[in-house]
Every structure is written in structure tokens, then in C-alpha cells.
Amino acid sequence: MAHSQKSIRDHARNRSHPNLDNEVISQQLEDLVKPCVYNQLAYYRSLGMRDRILSLPLMLAAVLTLVWRQVPSARELNRMLARENLLWAKMTKVSQQALSQKLLTFPAELFERVLGDLLITLNQRWHQRHQRTLPLSVTYASQYFEQHRYLTSVLDPNVLPPYVVADLYSRRWRIEDTFLLLKRLLGLSYLWTGSINGIKLQLWATWLFYVVLIDLSDQIADELTLPFDSISVEMVFRGIYHFTQALNQGLATDIIAYLAAPENRDLGIVKSSRPKRAKPPLNFSPFPA
């Protein structure tokens, strides 16, 4: 008997056209990422790279567009580059062969260094927000530690009570949620190329967009004075489509206000509460019964 082959959902690639541009999201990406790109130009030149057409600023803008607008192929990206500005990169005509070759050989470490600079900027922005509440275990631990990696060496329950340690440890599961979103939502499960260098470019560009998406979600949490855990990063990403429609119709200009608005609760930006799965109040006792 013949058996039908089951497809792997994460590997499904059903997009045939890129998402529409959104000038607000593009501007936010440009404001955050572009300064980090230009900070790396000196290192770029130290590698012997010359300021040709396919330079660091253009390549990063193109690959980042490939991720955030879900462009289905490098060929389609080349068509877009010839007809429209991609983030801070101006409309440019290059051959398909030149672009494809550049994706195979462009130093991926430059993208990684841009990500490192961007994380510093986003960390500063995170500390400037005070409206959204932090988890009690994080607030408690912050009184004693600046780096959570020190937690495993703390044996005194008067400093870190058992339930606080358990709550902090449970938050390490976020890394698994992150990988899920990177693969399923941002398309990292589908590799553009078998080239190691090309995979690295895709990986770092996906991380670049993801951390900007996290920053956007944190802004919404701050606007709503809610913990970050209450915000669905996936629905924030999907909400960009609805904001684009509202923006094009002249009904909205601020994505934070739009996604946080009470009339848009049906977008699912705030996670639904589940009373049956609600956690009991955090126990700060050093020796709980």
C-alpha cells in the first residue's frame, strides 16, 4: 500500500510574493540598524573590501529586507532592488549573477558585528522604559546581581529563595520560544542556500530583525504597562500587516498606539489569560513549607 509523504510544517514555503513595504517599520529599522552598519565601515575596509555597488550598507539592507518582507527568493530581491529603495539602500540595478555571488562570499562576520552593536543600543532603550512591570523574580534578583549567570553559584536561600531560583530558571525556556519564532515565523527553517556563508548571512539578518521585533514588543508592553511576558511577539509581527492597511488608508501613523489601542484587542497582541494555568503568588520564603 502506498503511503503519502507528510510534509514538515516548518519547512513549508508557500510564499510567492514579498510583503508590502511599511514606511513606519522601515524607518524604525533604519533608525536602529543603519548607525550600527556605518559603525562597521572602518572594519569593512580593513578586510580589503572596497566601496563598490554591493557594499556593506547595501548588502545588509538587502538581506534584512529579504527577511522582514519575506521575499521568496534572491531573484525576486534583485527585481525589487532595481525598482524600489530597500530601507536605506537606494534603487540600484545589478546583475543577478553579481548579487547571487555576493550572497555566497560577503563576510558574514560583518553582519554579526552589526548585531553586536545593535544589542548594546537596544539594551539601553530597554533600561529607559519604566512603565511595564518586570517579573517579581527578576526584580528580586536584580537587587543582588547584575548578571543572571551568577545564579547557579548562589547557595544561600536568604539571598535567593528556592522558588525565586525556580522561577528564574523557568524563564530560560524563552530561548526555545525564540528558536520556534525564528524558524516558523521568520522563515529560518527554510535555508536560502547550501553555502555556509549564505546560511550565516541569513542567520544574522534574521536575528537582526528579531531583536528589533522584540524591542517593538517591549515598547507595546511599556505603553500598556504590562509585563513583557504578556505580549505575543508572534501577533505583534502579524499585526504589522493590519497596521500597514490602516496606514495606507490614513487611519493610523503610530504602530505602538495602533497595536496597543483597545479597539484592536482582537489582534491578539496581549496574550489571553488562562485562569486554570495561573501561577500562585511567588513565595519569597528562604525555607518554604
What pLDDT was estimated at residue 145?
Answer: 59
Over residues 206-253, the pLDDT tens digits come to 999 999 999 999 999 999 999 898 999 999 999 999 999 999 999 999
d(C-alpha 234, C-alpha 259), whole Å: 13
d(C-alpha 264, C-alpha 240), whole Å: 12
Q: How confident is the model at residue 281 (pLDDT cuts 50, 70, 90)?
A: confident
Q: With beta carbons less than 8 A apart as the criterion, state whether 77 and 59 touch.
A: no
Over residues 51-61, the pLDDT tens digits come to 688 999 999 99
Give 122's DSSP letter.
H
d(C-alpha 37, C-alpha 88), whole Å: 11
β-pair partners for 89: 86
d(C-alpha 75, C-alpha 96), whole Å: 7
d(C-alpha 10, C-alpha 190), whole Å: 8
What pLDDT was estimated at residue 15?
Answer: 56
Maximum average pLDDT range among 15-19, 109-113, 145-149: 109-113
Half-sphere exposure of residue 188: CA atoms within 13 angstroms, side-chain side: 21
Over residues 152-187, the pLDDT tens digits come to 567 777 877 777 777 777 777 778 888 888 998 888
What pLDDT was estimated at residue 143?
Answer: 67
| pTM listed for this prediction | 0.81
260, pLDDT greater than 90: yes
277, pLDDT greater than 80: no
Q: What is the average per-residue pLDDT within 263-267?
A: 95
| Mean pLDDT across the chain | 85
Q: How confident is the model at residue 278 (pLDDT cuts 50, 70, 90)?
A: low
The share of the chain scoring above pLDDT 90, in percent, equals: 54
What pLDDT was estimated at residue 130?
Answer: 78
Q: 8-47 b/e with 16+ CB inside 10 Å = b?
A: eeeeeeeeeebeebbebbbebbbebbbebbeebeeebeee
d(C-alpha 46, C-alpha 160), whole Å: 47
Residue with cell 536561600: 157
Q: How distant is the alpha carbon of residue 123 from its chain centre?
A: 14
d(C-alpha 221, C-alpha 232), whole Å: 10
d(C-alpha 185, C-alpha 183), whole Å: 6
Q: Domain segments of the chain: what residues?
A: 15-277
Q: What is the torsion angle, in degrees rounded to the nearest 10, for the CA atoms of residue 126, residue 128, residue 132 and residue 135? A: 60
* Helices marked H in the chain: 23-39, 41-46, 56-68, 74-81, 96-105, 108-127, 136-142, 162-170, 174-180, 196-224, 233-248, 255-260
